[in-house]
């Protein structure tokens, strides 16, 4: 009987979490329709979307470089004498 309560409580808590997350995942219907109107099925990405993607990529690369920085420029891997 206790394992049934555990399963019931865990499933109810998971359901509650999923319901709260659902609001954050899905956008409003008006926003979705505006997106589809702005960008058709075959139309290329707008310049703003391309710039946003490039900025995200650049930020990710910069974070990677800061994390792996070893104090040498170019980094240690390029300064090795033998590979």
What residue ranges do the domains of the chain occupy? Answer: 1-41, 44-83
Separation of alpha carbons 15 and 80, rounded Å? 54
For residue 79, what pLDDT is reported? 59
pTM to 2 decimals?
Answer: 0.37
For residue 58, what pLDDT is reported? 94
For residue 20, the number of C-alpha atoms closer than 13 Å in the C-beta half-sphere is 5
CB atoms within 10 A of CB 74: 8
| Mean pLDDT, contiguous 10-residue spans, the chain (83 residues) | 80 74 66 72 79 94 83 63 58
* Cα 18–chain centre separation: 18
For residue 23, what pLDDT is reported? 59
């Amino acid at each position: 009987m206790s394992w049934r309560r555990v399963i019931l409580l865990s499933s109810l808590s998971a359901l509650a979490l999923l319901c709260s997350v659902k609001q954050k995942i899905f956008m409003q219907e008006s926003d979705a329709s505006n997106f589809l109107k702005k960008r058709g099925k075959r139309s290329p990405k707008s310049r703003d979307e391309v710039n946003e993607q490039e900025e995200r990529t650049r930020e990710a690369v910069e974070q990677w470089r800061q994390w792996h920085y070893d104090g040498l420029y170019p980094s240690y891997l390029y300064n090795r004498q033998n590979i």
